[in-house]
Amino acid sequence: MKAWQHYAAVGLGSALGASLRYAIALAMLGPVFPWPTLLVNAVGSWLMGAVAAVATQRLHSRVARWQPFLASGFCGGFTTFSLFGLETLQLLNEARPWLALGYMMISVPLWLAAAWHGYRVGQRLAIET
């Protein structure tokens, strides 16, 4: 793949990932707790782990060739650490420190566990195919 194709793949993947994240956020509007961000970051972390595992195990696979689109692009646009920070500050500004603390304590371990699980699944998929 040529350099400009990598940039185009990342850009297109980012646009699709961010658009899906926005659609999920709109569909889940209403609750006090920021469930949409928790969900998309968990799913995105899992997918990023799986893509990384398959791409590193099978360097010439279709997933490895699509890695700029899938990992940097789609997963990068789909997940959002900056929104996590903003939502945490918003909970603090709304005088909900315990909810903010709970959000932080749930989010990071969940996302790390999702990335680990996705990576493990990706490794198994790479070996089986």
Nearest to 14 by CA among 107, 61, 60, 76: 76
Number of domains in the chain: 1
Lowest mean pLDDT across 57-66, 84-93, 119-128: 57-66
Report whether 30 belongs to an annotated binding site: no
Report the predicted TM-score, pTM, of the whole model to 2 decimal places: 0.84
Tens of pLDDT along 46-87? 999 998 888 888 878 787 888 889 988 999 999 988 899 999
The domain of 86 spans 3-128
Report whether 49 belongs to an annotated binding site: no
pLDDT reported for residue 43: 94
Helix (H) or strand (E) holding 11: helix 3-27
